[in-house]
Structure 1
Amino acid sequence: MNPVDVAGLPVGDGHPPRIMGVLNMSVESNYDPSTWGDVDGAVDHAERMAAEGADIIDVGLQSSNPKNPWQAVDTELERLERALEVVDRADCDAVWSIETRYAEVADEALARGFDMVNDVCGFADPDMPDVCEKHDAAVVKMASPPDIQSPGHLRSIDDCFAALARGGFTEKTIIDPAFGGWYDEKTYEDNWEMFRRLREFRAFNRPMLTATNREDFLGEIADRPDTEDQLAVSLAAATMEVERGADIIRTHDVPETADVAAVADFLGDRRAIESGPAAHEGEDEAGVHAAELTGVTPREVARNTALREHDGIDPAEAVTLTFAAGDLPAAAHEELMTVGGEHGLLVASGDAGDTIPADEVETAADESEGGQGDSPAGEGTFVSGTLAAYEDALPELSGRPGLEALARAIREAIDREQL
Structure 2
Amino acid sequence: MRDVDAAGLGIGDGYPTRVMGVLNVSSESPYKPSVFDDAAEAAAYVDEELVDEGADIVDVGLESANKRFEVLSAEEELDRLDVALETIESTSGDAIWSIETRYHEVAEAAIEGGFDMVNDIAGFADPKLPDVCAEYDVAVAKMASPPDLKRPGAVEETPWAERKGAEWAESADYVDQVYEALKQNGLTDKTIVDPAFGGWSEAQTTEQDRETLRRLREFRGLGQPILVSINRKNFLRELTGRSTEEALAVSLAATSMAIERGAHVVRTHDVRETVDACAVGDAFTPTRFRGTVGGADDVTVEELDVQTEGDVSRHVERVGTADVAGDAIRAVFEVSGLTATQAESLAAAASDAGAVFAAGDDADGAGLLVGSHRALRRLAGRTPEDDALAGVLDAVGDAVA
TM-score by length of 1: 0.84
What SS does the corresponding residue of 1:139 show, helix, strand or coil?
A: strand
Q: Once the 2 structures are TM-superposed, how far is the Cα of residue 167 of structure 1 from its aligned partner? A: 1.2
Could you list the runs of 5+ residues in structure 2 that have no partner in the other structure?
157-173
What SS does the corresponding residue of 1:384 show, helix, strand or coil?
A: strand
The answer on 1:385 being equivalent to 2:371 is yes
Distance 1:131-1:404 versus aligned 2 partners, 3 A rule? same
The answer for the alignment partner of 1:201 in structure 2 is 219
- CA distance in 1 between counterparts of 2:21 and 2:62 reads 15
The answer for the alignment partner of 1:350 in structure 2 is 360
Q: Once the 2 structures are TM-superposed, how far is the Cα of residue 346 of structure 1 from its aligned partner? A: 2.5
The answer on 1:177 being equivalent to 2:178 is no
The answer on 1:164 being equivalent to 2:182 is yes
Q: Once the 2 structures are TM-superposed, how far is the Cα of residue 67 of structure 1 from its aligned partner? A: 2.7
The answer for the alignment partner of 1:305 in structure 2 is 316
Q: What one-letter code is carried by the residue in structure 2 that aligns with 1:344?
A: G
Distance 1:82-1:35 versus aligned 2 partners, 3 A rule? same
Query: 2:40, 2:90 within 8 Å by CA — same for their partners in 1?
Result: no
What SS does the corresponding residue of 2:89 show, helix, strand or coil?
A: helix
Q: Decide which of 251, 271, 282 is 1:254's aligned counterpart.
A: 271
Distance 1:29-1:394 versus aligned 2 partners, 3 A rule? same
Q: Decide which of 229, 243, 253 is 1:211's aligned counterpart.
A: 229
Q: Once the 2 structures are TM-superposed, how far is the Cα of residue 338 of structure 1 from its aligned partner? A: 2.6
- CA distance in 2 between counterparts of 1:253 and 1:136 reads 29
The answer for the alignment partner of 1:363 in structure 2 is none
Query: 1:320, 1:384 within 8 Å by CA — same for their partners in 2?
Result: no
Q: What one-letter code is carried by the residue in structure 2 that aligns with 1:257?
A: T
The answer for the alignment partner of 2:164 in structure 1 is none
The answer for the alignment partner of 1:263 in structure 2 is 280
What count of residue pairs does the alignment treat as equivalent? 382
Q: Once the 2 structures are TM-superposed, how far is the Cα of residue 274 of structure 1 from its aligned partner? A: 3.9
- CA distance in 1 between counterparts of 2:273 and 2:385 reads 50
Q: What one-letter code is carried by the residue in structure 1 that aligns with 2:273?
A: E
Any idea what the Cα deviations from partners look like across 1:110-151, whole Å, max 9, x if unmatched?
001100000000111111011111211111111101111111
Q: Which moved more, 1:24-33 or 1:104-113?
A: 24-33
Q: What one-letter code is carried by the residue in structure 2 that aligns with 1:179?
A: F
Q: What one-letter code is carried by the residue in structure 2 that aligns with 1:191?
A: D
* TM alignment of 1:233-252, pairs within 5 A: 233-252=250-269
Query: 1:242, 1:261 within 8 Å by CA — same for their partners in 2?
Result: yes
Q: Once the 2 structures are TM-superposed, how far is the Cα of residue 272 of structure 1 from its aligned partner? A: 4.2
* TM alignment of 1:324-403, pairs within 5 A: 324-325=333-334, 327-331=336-340, 332-352=342-362, 381-396=367-382, 401-402=387-388
Q: What one-letter code is carried by the residue in structure 2 that aligns with 1:19?
A: V
The answer on 1:232 being equivalent to 2:249 is yes
Query: 1:14, 1:273 within 8 Å by CA — same for their partners in 2?
Result: no
Distance 1:257-1:401 versus aligned 2 partners, 3 A rule? farther
Query: 1:336, 1:397 within 8 Å by CA — same for their partners in 2?
Result: no
Q: Once the 2 structures are TM-superposed, how far is the Cα of residue 399 of structure 1 from its aligned partner? A: 8.4
The answer for the alignment partner of 1:145 in structure 2 is 146
Distance 1:302-1:326 versus aligned 2 partners, 3 A rule? closer
- CA distance in 2 between counterparts of 1:380 and 1:129 reads 58
- CA distance in 1 between counterparts of 2:200 and 2:385 reads 45
TM-score by length of 2: 0.88
Q: Once the 2 structures are TM-superposed, how far is the Cα of residue 309 of structure 1 from its aligned partner? A: 2.7
Q: Which moved more, 1:96-105 or 1:11-20?
A: 11-20
Q: Once the 2 structures are TM-superposed, how far is the Cα of residue 215 of structure 1 from its aligned partner? A: 0.8
Distance 1:227-1:381 versus aligned 2 partners, 3 A rule? farther
Distance 1:169-1:40 versus aligned 2 partners, 3 A rule? same
The answer on 1:9 being equivalent to 2:9 is yes
What RMSD, in angstroms, separates the aligned Cα atoms of the two structures? Answer: 2.4
The answer for the alignment partner of 2:88 in structure 1 is 87
Distance 1:154-1:84 versus aligned 2 partners, 3 A rule? same
What SS does the corresponding residue of 1:59 show, helix, strand or coil?
A: strand
* TM alignment of 1:271-290, pairs within 5 A: 271-275=288-292, 280=295, 284=297, 290=301
Q: Decide which of 306, 310, 321 is 2:330's aligned counterpart.
A: 321
Q: What one-letter code is carried by the residue in structure 2 that aligns with 1:384?
A: V
What SS does the corresponding residue of 2:80 show, helix, strand or coil?
A: helix
Q: Once the 2 structures are TM-superposed, how far is the Cα of residue 327 of structure 1 from its aligned partner? A: 3.7
- CA distance in 2 between counterparts of 1:117 and 1:164 reads 16
What SS does the corresponding residue of 1:107 show, helix, strand or coil?
A: helix
- CA distance in 2 between counterparts of 1:405 and 1:96 reads 59
Q: Once the 2 structures are TM-superposed, how far is the Cα of residue 207 of structure 1 from its aligned partner? A: 0.8
Any idea what the Cα deviations from partners look like across 1:225-273, whole Å, max 9, x if unmatched?
x211111111111111111111111111111111121121122224243
Q: Once the 2 structures are TM-superposed, how far is the Cα of residue 221 of structure 1 from its aligned partner? A: 1.5
Could you list the runs of 5+ residues in structure 1 that have no partner in the other structure?
355-378
Question: Identity rate of aligned residues, in percent?
Answer: 42
Query: 1:23, 1:35 within 8 Å by CA — same for their partners in 2?
Result: yes
The answer for the alignment partner of 1:376 in structure 2 is none
Q: What one-letter code is carried by the residue in structure 1 that aligns with 2:276?
A: D
